[in-house]
């Protein structure tokens, strides 16, 4: 039996997130306080008492989810014994900190820079994403290729559930073609830009230098990174994949399949929400999925 710990990405946030961790753990309070200092604003105020709209700001959302996940994994203490880890998009940064490839402080700085760079890229050009249900990957890929402008497959979430990303007109055009091809659903998501597409190139450039200047070390277990869906332990390769992640698709389905092929029988989601558990089950019904519940 092997245990895979998985870390959620943007979209898992909710008002009040992290308040329970803060209330119950001195260690959590210290980490939240350190985060406020690093970020230069009180993210805890927004996480614990902010509105849903305030929490949706990219500069808040990404560090908030990162903090929730990393603090929770830290509080696991000796219970945290991963045979492998993976994170969905932003969650890859949480996974890298949890398996000690990256320090908490450096991870938070990179996540904050990533969020701001992505927000800037979103503002530079109208772009969006759309969920597509009920079609084979290859059908979605081919329709994206035929669109009038930039649109690509951005997330392979589970079999029959993909997300496309690109210019607004191209995404709308692709959605119509996908419906004609038999998609059960093809509709825009309430996001501010085309994540994991070529339209994130400016963010990619901005983040590359920061990642390359950051110290990464060999993790305590393999990390299945989004770009390749393969197990990685080499710090140089980890950096390369992390840089590529912003403009490349999230190969979550392939990552789960590969983790199972390498022996994973139990998947434990660490962080807000339970989205990843559902995606794992839709990929393979036979594995066990759960989330970490913190009690003192």
So where are the chain's domains?
2-122+198-291, 124-188
Residue 97 contacts by C-beta under 8 Å, 6 or more apart in sequence? 66, 70, 73, 103, 104, 107
Q: How far is CA 4 from CA 48, 82, 251, 287, in A?
A: 29, 6, 16, 11
Q: How many helices (H) and strands (E) does the chain have?
A: 13, 10
CB 158, CB 252: distance < 8 Å: yes
Answer whether 0.75 is exceeded by the pTM: yes
Q: What is the pLDDT of residue 222?
A: 98
89 given a catalytic annotation: yes
d(CA 190, CA 92): 22
| Count of C-beta atoms within a 10 Å radius of residue 132 | 28
CB 9, CB 89: distance < 8 Å: yes
196 given a catalytic annotation: yes
Q: Which CATH number is 2-122+198-291 given? A: 3.40.366.10
Q: Which CATH number is 124-188 given? A: 3.30.70.250
Q: What is the pLDDT of residue 66?
A: 97
| Residue whose structure tokens are 């339209």 | 199
Per-residue tens of pLDDT for the chain, all 296 residues: 899 999 999 888 999 999 999 999 999 999 999 999 999 999 999 999 999 989 988 889 999 999 999 999 999 888 899 999 999 999 999 999 999 999 999 999 999 999 999 989 988 888 999 999 999 999 999 999 998 899 999 999 999 999 999 999 999 999 999 999 999 999 999 887 899 999 999 999 889 999 999 999 999 999 999 999 999 999 999 999 999 999 999 999 999 999 999 999 999 999 998 999 999 999 999 999 999 765 43
Q: Among 25, 73, 89, 197, which one carries the catalytic annotation?
A: 89
pLDDT digits (tens, 9 = 90+) for 53-86: 899 888 899 999 999 999 999 998 888 999 999 9
DSSP 8-state assignment for residue 233? -
Q: Among 25, 127, 165, 196, which one carries the catalytic annotation?
A: 196
Q: What is the pLDDT of residue 295?
A: 47
CB 167, CB 199: distance < 8 Å: yes
253: its two tokens? 């389905």
């Amino acid at each position: 039996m092997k245990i895979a710990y998985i870390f959620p990405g943007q979209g898992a946030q909710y008002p009040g997130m992290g308040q329970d961790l803060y209330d119950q753990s001195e260690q959590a309070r210290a980490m939240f306080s350190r985060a406020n200092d690093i970020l230069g604003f009180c993210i805890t105020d927004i996480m614990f008492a902010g509105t849903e709209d305030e929490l949706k700001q990219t500069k808040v959302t990404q560090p908030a989810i990162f903090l929730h996940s990393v603090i929770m994994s830290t509080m696991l203490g000796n219970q945290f014994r991963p045979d492998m880890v993976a994170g969905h998009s932003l969650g890859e940064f949480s996974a890298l900190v949890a398996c000690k490839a990256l320090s908490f402080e450096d991870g938070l700085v990179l996540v904050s820079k990533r969020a701001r760079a992505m927000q800037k890229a979103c503002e530079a050009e109208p772009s969006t994403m759309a969920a597509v249900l009920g079609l084979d990957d290859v059908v979605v890929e081919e329709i994206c290729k035929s669109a009038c402008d930039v649109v690509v497959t951005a997330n392979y979430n589970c079999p029959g559930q993909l997300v496309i990303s690109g210019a607004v007109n191209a995404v709308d055009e692709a959605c119509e073609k996908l419906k004609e091809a038999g998609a059960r659903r093809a509709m825009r998501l309430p996001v501010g830009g085309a994540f994991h597409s070529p339209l994130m190139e400016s963010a990619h450039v901005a983040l590359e230098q920061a990642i390359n200047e950051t110290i990464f070390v060999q993790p305590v277990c393999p990390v299945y990174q989004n770009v390749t869906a393969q197990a990685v332990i080499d710090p140089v390769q980890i950096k390369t994949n992390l840089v590529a992640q912003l403009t490349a698709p999230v190969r979550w389905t392939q990552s789960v399949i590969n983790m199972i092929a390498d022996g994973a029988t139990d998947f434990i989601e660490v962080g807000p929400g339970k989205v990843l558990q559902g995606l794992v089950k839709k990929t393979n019904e036979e594995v066990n999925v759960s989330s970490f519940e913190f009690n003192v």
